Amino acid sequence: MLQLERKKEENKDILRLIGEVDASNSILLDQSIQEILEQGATVLLIDGTELEYISSAGLGVFMSYLDDFSERGIRFAIFGLNEQVNEVFKILGLDRLIAIAPDLSTATRLTHES
């Protein structure tokens, strides 16, 4: 089960992922990010505090947008990942390609600096 919640805080678009992202629902994550981009986001933060699981299908969605983000100057970070999910990002070395922060305020600071 995956639930997606969007909110806007000042210039930040925050997408909260609740539950599990796998091959059956990664399309929903893809669509949400696409919509946010189409509406002209400048800062996109993924709130992973309630993300329990993510497979390569979901990781691949993030990876497929990394070039887009840098071309359009969109600042992107993921925050609040639990230990297990964070470890999955690290196995692949994604923590070197994506800004990963412990919490919203750190993520906000990271995206301001970049």
Strands 12-21 and 51-54: parallel
Between 88 and 110, name the residue whose CB sits nearer to another protein. Answer: 88
Between 28 and 104, name the residue whose CB sits nearer to another protein. Answer: 28
Contact between 3 and another protein by CB under 8 A: the answer reads no
DSSP secondary structure letter of residue 98: S
Contact between 69 and another protein by CB under 8 A: the answer reads no
Q: Least distance (Å) from another protein to the CB of residue 21?
A: 11
- Whether residue 87 contacts residue 53, with contact meaning beta carbons closer than 8 Å, is answered with no
Contact between 57 and another protein by CB under 8 A: the answer reads yes
Contact between 24 and another protein by CB under 8 A: the answer reads yes
DSSP secondary structure letter of residue 22: -
Q: Least distance (Å) from another protein to the CB of residue 74?
A: 15
Q: Which of 16, 20, 37, 99 binds another protein (CB under 8 A)?
A: 20
Q: Smallest Cα–Cα separation from 45: which of 67, 69, 78, 21?
A: 78
The token pair that represents 66 in the structure block: 């990394």
